[in-house]
Chain A
């Protein structure tokens, strides 16, 4: 099976712009979660989508949003970028049902905001 893929791998944006990141889960997986990883805050949970619905949400401002499509692919959007949004954004997929304990991570998208 192909793993979780994320595009693009690297992005450079300017403050105030918006950005969209994409994630394709492992085939058959219905849950997609997004994380922000920074040296200062570590790995922080953004949100989880399951069957096109947001099922869980972390403690991030409304500038961070996401969606999931019927094929389970997911996108996350960050509007009005700030310097502090520079981070590695990781996507993870899982089966989504009871017993689907582990998450499988993609390689991440490195976002740099200047």
Chain B
């Protein structure tokens, strides 16, 4: 079984400030980890993923995340928030199962960016 916990349903930052969205996972096998972003009335867009190798993963729009196995965490960061970053962010975990990689999603964190 696998699960994801995203701490904080809402995170509010000022434009230009550091963005930190927290994600902890539970998985009985080595996980594959993802961050997705969802803008209003749209589907999910992949920001970044960790599968194997380097634990610091860089994604689109200046986001990055670090896989910390000892802490079972995969927090998402961005050095300087833009107004356009305001959206819902989902952390997800999956593992290989017969060719499938069905992700389990966290409940999401709404990022609010103040001018």
Which one, B49, B103, B107, contacts A42 given CB within 8 A? B107
Q: Are B43 and A90 in contact (CB under 8 A)?
A: yes
- Please tell me if the beta carbons of B42 and A100 are within 8 angstroms of each other in the complex: no
Which single member of B90, B94, B100 contacts A43 (CB below 8 Å)?
B90
A96 CB contacts on chain B under 8 angstroms: 99
Tell me the count of chain A residues lying within 8 A, CB to CB, of chain B.
27
Q: Which residue of A has the minimal Cβ distance to B104?
A: A45
Enumerate chain A residues within 8 angstroms of B44, measured Cβ to Cβ. 90, 92, 105
Contact status A105-B102, CB under 8 Å: no
Interface 9-residue window, one of A13-21, A48-56, A65-73, A74-82: A48-56
Q: Is the CB of B43 within 8 A of A56?
A: no
Q: Is the CB of A42 within 8 A of B105?
A: yes
In the complex, whether A4 has a CB less than 8 A from a CB of chain B is yes
Alpha-carbon distance A98/B58, docked complex (angstroms): 23
In the complex, what distance in Å separates the CA atom of A31 from the CA atom of B100? 9
- Interface presence of A108 (CB below 8 A): yes
The answer to whether B46 touches A33 (Cβ under 8 A) is no
Taking CB atoms, residues of chain A closer than 8 Å to B43 are 4, 6, 90, 92, 105-108
B96 lies within 8 A of A98 (CB): yes
Which residues does B use to contact A, with CB under 8 Å?
Answer: 32, 34, 36, 41-46, 49, 51, 90, 94, 96-108
A31-B100, A101-B94, A108-B43 given; 10 more Cβ-contact pairs under 8 Å: A6-B43, A50-B100, A90-B43, A92-B44, A94-B101, A100-B99, A102-B46, A102-B49, A105-B43, A107-B41
